[in-house]
Amino acid sequence: MTSHLPALVVTVPLLTAFAAFAAGWLRPKLCFPVGLTGLGITAISSIWLLAEVLEAGTVTYELGRWPAPWGIVYVVDRLNGVVLAAISLCAFIQWISSRASVKSQFSDRIGAFYGLELLFVTGVMGITVTGDAFNLYVLLEIASITAYALIAMGGGRAPLSSLNYVFMGTIGACFYLLGVGYLYIMTGSLNMADLASILQGMRSSQAILVAFVIIIVGVWLKMGFFPLHGWLPNAYTHAPWPATTLIAPLMTKVMAYVMMRLVLFLFGPEYSFGVLGLKDVVVWWASLAVVAGSVIALSQKDLKRMITCIILIEIAYMVGGTFLGNRSGTTGAIFHLVNDVFMTLCVFLAVSSLAFRQRELDMDTMEGLFSEMPFTMGALVTGALSIVGVPPTCGFFSKWLLLKGALEAGHYEFMVALILSSLVCLVLFFRVFEAAYFGHGERSHGHHRMREAPLGMVVPLLVVAIGIVALGLMSGEVISSIIEPALPRGVL
Q: Is 295 in the site for other proteins (CB under 8 A)?
A: no
Q: Which of 73, 286, 403, 465 binds other proteins (CB under 8 A)?
A: 403
CB of 427 to other proteins, least distance (A): 9
Q: Is 449 in the site for other proteins (CB under 8 A)?
A: no
Q: Which is nearer to other proteins, 226 or 375 (CB)?
A: 375
- With contacts defined by CB under 8 A, name the span among 22-30, 192-200, 349-357, 467-475 that binds other proteins: 467-475
Q: Is 467 in the site for other proteins (CB under 8 A)?
A: no
Q: Is 458 in the site for other proteins (CB under 8 A)?
A: no
- With contacts defined by CB under 8 A, name the span among 24-32, 187-195, 218-226, 434-442 that binds other proteins: 434-442
Compute CA 12 distance to the chain's CA centroid, rounded to the nearest angstrom: 20
CB of 421 to other proteins, least distance (A): 11
Q: Is 437 in the site for other proteins (CB under 8 A)?
A: yes
Q: Is 310 in the site for other proteins (CB under 8 A)?
A: no
Q: Is 398 in the site for other proteins (CB under 8 A)?
A: no
Touching other proteins, residues 121-150 (CB under 8 A): none
Q: Which of 185, 202, 295, 423 binds other proteins (CB under 8 A)?
A: 423
Q: Which of 397, 450, 453, 487 binds other proteins (CB under 8 A)?
A: 397
Q: Is 476 in the site for other proteins (CB under 8 A)?
A: yes
- With contacts defined by CB under 8 A, name the span among 196-204, 260-268, 288-296, 399-407 that binds other proteins: 399-407
Find all residues with CB under 8 Å of 414, minimum gap 6, and list them. Answer: 283, 286, 287, 290, 320, 324, 402, 406
Q: Is 490 in the site for other proteins (CB under 8 A)?
A: no
- With contacts defined by CB under 8 A, name the span among 24-32, 165-173, 337-345, 418-426 that binds other proteins: 418-426
Q: Which is nearer to other proteins, 91 or 290 (CB)?
A: 290
- With contacts defined by CB under 8 A, name the span among 161-169, 202-210, 217-225, 473-481 that binds other proteins: 473-481
| CA dihedral sign, ordered 192, 193, 197, 198 | negative
* CA 211/CA 366 separation, integer angstroms: 49
CB of 440 to other proteins, least distance (A): 5
Q: Which is nearer to other proteins, 187 or 422 (CB)?
A: 422
Q: Is 404 in the site for other proteins (CB under 8 A)?
A: yes
Q: Is 400 in the site for other proteins (CB under 8 A)?
A: yes
Q: Is 419 in the site for other proteins (CB under 8 A)?
A: yes
Q: Is 434 in the site for other proteins (CB under 8 A)?
A: yes
CB of 407 to other proteins, least distance (A): 5
Q: Is 482 in the site for other proteins (CB under 8 A)?
A: no
CB of 419 to other proteins, least distance (A): 6
Q: Which residues bind other proteins (CB under 8 A)?
A: 385, 388-392, 397, 400, 403-404, 407-408, 415, 419, 422-423, 426, 430, 434, 437-440, 473-477, 479-480
